[in-house]
Amino acid sequence: MPQPSLVTQDLTVRFGGHVAVDRVSCAFTPGELTAIVGPNGAGKTTYFNLISGQIRATSGRVTLMGRDISGLSPSARTEAGLGRAFQLTNLFPRLTVLENVRLVIQARERRGFNLWTMAMGHRDLIEEAEAVLDRVRLTALRDQNVSALSHGDQRKLEVAAMIALKPRVFMFDEPTAGMSVEEAPVILDLIAGIKADPAATVLLVEHKMDVIRSLADRIIVLHNGALVADGKPAEVMASAVVQEAYLGKELTDV
């Protein structure tokens, strides 16, 4: 079993008297896609925000590749190898699709630059950006300004930027929300492609059970901010605690 890439330890946040995330301890491993599920208001997005640094924990720790990142800003966490789609992109609306991806690669290379590595040449940057666009099927739009893209294409570009950054952990929060029936499968294929990399750890907050069923290796369930179930999808779906958390709702309808 590989070492965990991301660990949360007793991670907790209180908003006034309300505990939105309640002592969540969980380890995530490369080669595994974990779906994070739970009813509305369970704390899923807040848990993501604590991991990516959008909000600071009241107590507890987040460790990435063995390093305590609890005190780092969101951008420092990105640099440390944590990829969260909306946070990474900082898309430049007046630049083209290709230029946006090239800038992400350039920023990544600058960070990796040291005496022993040579900075990539312009041609290499463009070639890598083209390869990423090909992977997300945005090649035809490479010279379009980002501001002219549809919502679905912007989401694809967010995934492209995340792939270009080569993070260790990929975080997706309802990646197909607001997408058309035609667009959603492209994003799901991309996530499946990312998950096929044994070095990638993928976290997915998702309500749609068909998406979870097709992608998840593991499901964790949050309820009232606490982790109430963790295991293989079939076991978790069948467990009493999950049925109760969803108050008798059919999980397939969630």
Ligand X SMILES: Nc1ncnc2c1ncn2[C@@H]1O[C@H](COP(=O)(O)OP(=O)(O)OP(=O)(O)O)[C@@H](O)[C@H]1O
Residues paired with residue 45 on neighbouring β-strands, in sequence order = none
Distance CA 86, CA 15 (A): 24
Closest CA to 11 of 226, 204, 219: 226
CB of 227 to ligand X, least distance (A): 12
Instruction: Let me know how long the chain is.
Output: 254
- Write out the two tokens for 87: 């946070």
Q: Decide if residue 58 touches ligand X (CB under 6 A).
A: no
1 to 40: interface string for ligand X, x by CB under 6 A: --------------x--x-x-----------------x-x
Q: Decide if residue 93 touches ligand X (CB under 6 A).
A: no
Closest CA to 64 of 127, 11, 137: 11
CB of 223 to ligand X, least distance (A): 9
Q: Decide if residue 186 touches ligand X (CB under 6 A).
A: no
CB of 254 to ligand X, least distance (A): 10
Q: Which amino acid is at 72?
A: L
| Residue carrying structure tokens 């789609």 | 85
Closest CA to 141 of 153, 129, 131, 151: 153
Q: Decide if residue 102 touches ligand X (CB under 6 A).
A: no
Q: Decide if residue 41 touches ligand X (CB under 6 A).
A: yes
Q: Decide if residue 229 touches ligand X (CB under 6 A).
A: no
Q: Report the interface residues with ligand X, using CB under 6 A.
A: 15, 18, 20, 38, 40-46
